[in-house]
Amino acid sequence: RASPPLAALSQVLRLERSRRTGIVFPLQKLERYLAPGTDTARFRLFQPGLAALQRAEALFRSDRGHPIDYVSSAVRMDHAPPPALPEVCFIGRSNVGKSSLIRALFSLAPEVEVRVSKTPGHTKKMNFFKVGKYFTLVDMPGYGYRAPQDFVEMVEAYLQERRNLKRTFLLVDGVVGLQKTDNIAVEMLEEFGIPYVMVLTKIDRASRGVLLKNVLEIQEFVKENTQGCFPQLFLVSSVEFSGVHLLRCFVAHVTGNLPTLEAS
Ligand code: GDP
């Protein structure tokens, strides 16, 4: 299977400058539409240079000496693989675009199968992926309008017990913004003191106005109501690949696989 266009930085670098910025740093692309005087310091806290982006991409590109594999699924913590490597996990409402994003992150390892179990009534599982000898990535079950008890119990146990968890990525729909149900996740993360970061998905589907509104609202929410959330939002489109390269780089960074982070 060939990887989709713009899945690799080399393809993005061929674009003209403004499109390239939009793909690699989607939040910066929005800056010019903000009212003068708006504080954009939080837009640039994590701003890696090309070398760091390339190094991160290499981690997400599988080859014989660097396999990227689906490892296993678990419904209970005692079924989770041993906590041997630094780990990140992805959580969010059902339909937020979580499987699409994980597929986009792993698009340079097309043999990786990102499974989805959406059939109502089926037990949702935590899916573990291993990226060579560098880190593991966990796809957590999605929560719904009423987060089922098994979701809360599974995720709660995972967040509380997982010693190797370096960062949680909380996905929020970029078109509809933060929803009441997202508070379940925010409250859990805040209560346990887990470091996390918010990722706005499907940005290709949001008009610029809607996207700006959601970005500013969520930034304000993070500033006023959270302790453990990284102040910079990450914006992604799994269709256009915007933000995916930067997110790969942030994952590499938080798992300790990007020792020197040079500014661009
Ligand atoms: P999950 O339930 O969180 O795993 O969500 P999925 O990844 O299955 O996505 C839910 C729906 O949103 C699907 O119809 C996807 O095709 C669509 N979707 C996901 N990501 C994007 C995106 O970045 N852009 C657009 N336009 N659609 C997306």
pLDDT at 206: 97
Q: Is 95 in the pocket of ligand 1 (CB under 6 A)?
A: yes
pTM flag (> 0.85): yes
Measured by CA distance, the residue closest to atom 6 of ligand 1 is 97
CA of residue 201 to ligand 1 center, whole Å: 8
Q: Is 97 in the pocket of ligand 1 (CB under 6 A)?
A: yes
pLDDT at 114: 87
HEC string of 35-95 equals CCCCCCHHHCCCCECHHHHHHHHHHCCCECCECEEEEEEECCHHHCCCCCCCEEEEEEECC
CA of residue 103 to ligand 1 center, whole Å: 10
pLDDT at 263: 47
Closest CA to 90 of 163, 183, 198: 198
Q: Is 257 in the pocket of ligand 1 (CB under 6 A)?
A: no
- Give the span between the Cα atoms of 87 and 140, in whole angstroms: 12
Residue 196 neighbours by CB under 8 Å, 6+ apart = 167, 168, 169, 170, 189, 228, 229, 230
CA of residue 224 to ligand 1 center, whole Å: 29
Helix axes 244-254, 17-24, angle to 10 degrees: 40
Q: Is 202 in the pocket of ligand 1 (CB under 6 A)?
A: yes
* Domain extents in the chain: 9-255
- Are β-strands 126-131 and 135-139 bridged in parallel, bridged antiparallel, or unpaired? antiparallel
- Pocket probe for ligand 1: among 100, 102, 125, the residue whose CB has the most ligand atoms within 8 Å is 100
One pLDDT digit (tens) per residue for the chain, 264 residues: 677 889 999 999 999 999 999 999 999 999 889 888 888 888 899 999 999 999 999 999 999 999 999 999 998 999 999 999 999 999 999 999 999 999 999 999 989 988 766 665 566 789 999 999 999 999 999 887 666 677 788 899 999 999 999 999 999 999 999 998 899 899 999 999 999 999 999 999 999 999 999 999 999 999 999 999 999 999 999 999 999 999 999 999 999 999 765 544
pLDDT at 119: 61
Q: Is 100 in the pocket of ligand 1 (CB under 6 A)?
A: yes
CATH of domain 9-255: 3.40.50.300
